[in-house]
Amino acid sequence: MESLFFDIGLLVIIATILGYLAMVLRQPLLLAYVVGGMLLGPTGLWLWQQLATLGGRKLPAFSLIGNPEVIHTISVIGIVLLMFLVGLELDLKKVKQFGATIIGISLIQIVVTFLLAAGLGAVLGFSWVTNMYLAIGLVFSSTIVSVKYLSEHKDLSSLYGRIVVGVLLAQDLLAIFTLILIASIGATGTLSFLTLANVVIKLGWLLVLTIILAHYIFPLVFSVIARSQELLFLSGIALAFIFALMAENLHISLEIGAFLAGISLASLPYHAQLATRIKPLRDFFIVIFFVILGMNLDLSLLASVWWQTILVVLFVVLLKPIIVLAGMGLLGFKRRTAFMTGISLAHISEFSLIVLQLGKSVGQVDEVLISLLTVVMIVSIVFSSYLYTYRQQIYNALERLLRVFERQTFVHPLEVAGNISGKPEQHIVLCGYGGMGHDVLINIASATKNYLVVDLDPNVIRLLMAKKVPAIYGDIADEEILEELGARKAKAIVSTVRNLFSNLALIKHVREENKKVPIVVLAESVADALELYDAGADYVVLPDIVGGAHTAMVFEDIQHENLDKLFRLKRKEIGQLRIQQLLGQERRR
């Protein structure tokens, strides 16, 4: 018990120190957690031994973590909570409209990736059986990593966020069937279709149970449970574990079980409160998962397969996104949606290693391929974190080149166009309807009818269109969307979007042609606010201390053309922010 307490304590301390260092250096936190795991695992031991050798000493083998298997089991809790929250944020009624699209994109991605990966294996000189396992391993992307990226950047509700989650779930289902096939062949030497049919029946039963509970049982049960916030919190976690355990006992992935548990509660009015309470707990266990991932990396194994590893990494982080980009372009998606979906899948999954381990147990895979895929998984996850962090800058740089992937004669129905006509002028542009945007829109609509709303959530756009609110689907960082909005000829622009890069792109594009239009944006930290002011924002709202009502008040000054008051407020605010920055008060409370 004392050893386990020490292991968890050391792991959290190392992750915290490196996480702080990564934040100061503006690097992804995921990188810090993986590096922390490397220092605590075989790679750290190998590095210490190399340093000792340089000093003329020989360092005996040792391990800082005494219970890695137990720690890994604990980290699985993070996976369960992560997938539960993903399901919690997906309404079953909204998922239906993506069904055919998900199947189409998944088929293209899986088939093309498999064939090209098998070709890569042939180039690398692997045997036919090894090629098949390599191809299978490269097909899957990590659900945990992708969902973490989407959650952190608040992209789960976007069109590409929903598509990514759907494709990942399709991959997880394929992984389950793959494991069953390998186990069946290994045990009997033949393929058992009876075993496959058995799993399909079990999965169907679990899905039917989810629908029944979501529609007929949970609305009544949770209306009573919700009277106590503590009991609501415990009930949500308990349900996630119940479904995960049921799925595992049915030989189905526990991730899928936890996901279905979340879906069963997604349509209830308490789902947002439940998600808010569970997220901090999820974050803690997910940190442990990524540290354990780093501990599994042994750099000493790279010596014999280093050039093969480099080629496979390039395949995963470059070619996999291009496959998705081309496939979605063929189906009629716009290049930005396809690009964002592609880079969200630019890594391989922990399922890949599970498949290879099972292949090893039946005598079809050797240790070299497992070592290679382990390194590729960790390197691709770290590399993809940079791709996703700087996705908007990368997209802006490649935007013209990406036009080759976009069909000009057909646009997919999910790419909601909106309900505006003509080129508006002297209007108010509201970017983002969720959260504070709702309060701001009420104020705008009461003052003028000449306004437009832009949002990245297709369901929000459908809601606004149903209410006859002029709205358009799109990202404010996309120059073409700004052209369609007539942003450069607007009377004022108010952005309640919390993404720094999107707001910076908005300001940059508008200021290139219109230096005078008032721009009000949101920021989540003092540093972000000052950066937005430097970029040309007229006023920056920090939602930690003000809300939609304050933003609406600022809008009133713009509406009445009281810009002198706004500029005085801006100068005062910048002065206060710089003082806070000097005092080290990064976030305002």
How deeply is 304 buried, as exposed, middle or buried, from its count of CB atoms within 10 A (0-12, 13-18, 19+)? exposed
Question: In this structure, are residues 308 and 371 in contact, taking their beta carbons and an 8 Å threshold?
Answer: no
Residue 239 above 90 pLDDT?
Answer: yes
Residue 502 above 90 pLDDT?
Answer: no
Q: Phi and psi (nearest 5°) for 436?
A: -65, -25
Residue 57 above 70 pLDDT?
Answer: no
Residue 121 above 70 pLDDT?
Answer: yes
Lowest mean pLDDT among 104-113, 124-133, 309-318, 546-555: 546-555
Report d(CA 133, CA 359) in Å as an integer: 8
Of the ranges 88-102, 202-216, 282-296, 432-446, the best mean pLDDT one? 202-216
- Report which of residues 142 and 117 the model is more confident about: 117
Report d(CA 19, CA 30) in Å as an integer: 8
Residue 372, both tokens: 């290679």
pLDDT for 17:
94
Q: Is the dihedral of CA 393, 399, 402, 408 positive or negative?
A: positive
* 486 closest CA partner among 561, 418, 428: 428
Q: Report the amino acid identity of residue 1.
A: M
Residue 141 above 80 pLDDT?
Answer: yes
pLDDT for 328:
93
Overall average pLDDT of the 248-272 stretch: 82
pLDDT for 338:
93
Report d(CA 31, CA 60) in Å as an integer: 28
Residue 548 above 60 pLDDT?
Answer: no
- Count of residues for the chain? 589
Using 50, 70 and 90 to split pLDDT, how confident is the model at 303? low
Overall average pLDDT of the 552-567 stretch: 57
pLDDT digits (tens, 9 = 90+) for 457-468: 877 888 888 888
Residue 588 above 50 pLDDT?
Answer: no
Residue 340 above 90 pLDDT?
Answer: yes
Instruction: Kindly report the number of other CB atoms within 10 A of residue 31's CB atom.
Output: 21
CA distances from 229 to 30, 48, 78, 85, 282 (A): 31, 49, 21, 17, 18
The domain segmentation of the chain, as residue ranges, is 2-405, 428-582
Question: In this structure, are residues 352 and 377 in contact, taking their beta carbons and an 8 Å threshold?
Answer: yes
pLDDT digits (tens, 9 = 90+) for 361-380: 677 777 778 778 878 888 88
- Report which of residues 366 and 581 the model is more confident about: 366
pLDDT digits (tens, 9 = 90+) for 510-521: 888 788 888 989
Residue 123, both tokens: 């180039």
Question: In this structure, are residues 264 and 258 in contact, taking their beta carbons and an 8 Å threshold?
Answer: no
Torsion of Cα atoms, 561 then 567 then 568 then 570, to 10°: 130
DSSP state of 59: P
- Report which of residues 114 and 72 the model is more confident about: 114
DSSP state of 302: G
Report d(CA 289, CA 274) in Å as an integer: 23
pLDDT for 257:
85
Residue 403 above 80 pLDDT?
Answer: yes
Overall average pLDDT of the 158-163 stretch: 86
Residue 530 above 50 pLDDT?
Answer: yes
Lowest mean pLDDT among 66-75, 229-238, 392-401, 549-558: 549-558
Judged by DSSP in three states, 96 sits in helix
Please, how many CA atoms are within 13 Å of residue 49, restricted to the half-sphere of its CB? 13
pLDDT digits (tens, 9 = 90+) for 277-302: 888 888 888 888 878 877 877 666 66
- Report which of residues 205 and 447 the model is more confident about: 205
Give the DSSP letter string of 326-363. Answer: HHHHHTT--HHHHHHHHHHT-S--HHHHHHHHHHHHTT
* 345 closest CA partner among 371, 309, 383: 383
Q: Is the dihedral of CA 313, 314, 318, 322 positive or negative?
A: negative
pLDDT for 587:
43
Residue 563 above 60 pLDDT?
Answer: no
| pTM, full prediction | 0.68
Torsion of Cα atoms, 183 then 134 then 28 then 293, to 10°: 40
Instruction: Kindly report the number of other CB atoms within 10 A of residue 111's CB atom.
Output: 13
Residue 398 above 60 pLDDT?
Answer: yes
pLDDT for 307:
83
Instruction: Kindly report the number of other CB atoms within 10 A of residue 571's CB atom.
Output: 10
pLDDT for 558:
56
Q: Is the dihedral of CA 18, 20, 26, 30 positive or negative?
A: positive
pLDDT for 557:
56
Residue 318 above 70 pLDDT?
Answer: yes
pLDDT for 450:
85
CATH class of the region 428-582: alpha beta
Using 50, 70 and 90 to split pLDDT, how confident is the model at 2? low
pLDDT for 1:
47
Residue 564, both tokens: 């002198």
Mean pLDDT of the residues in the chain: 80
Q: What angle do CA 80, 67, 358 make, to 5 degrees?
A: 60
pLDDT for 417:
55
CATH pick for 2-405 out of 3.90.870.10, 1.20.1530.20, 1.10.3720.10, 1.20.120.450: 1.20.1530.20
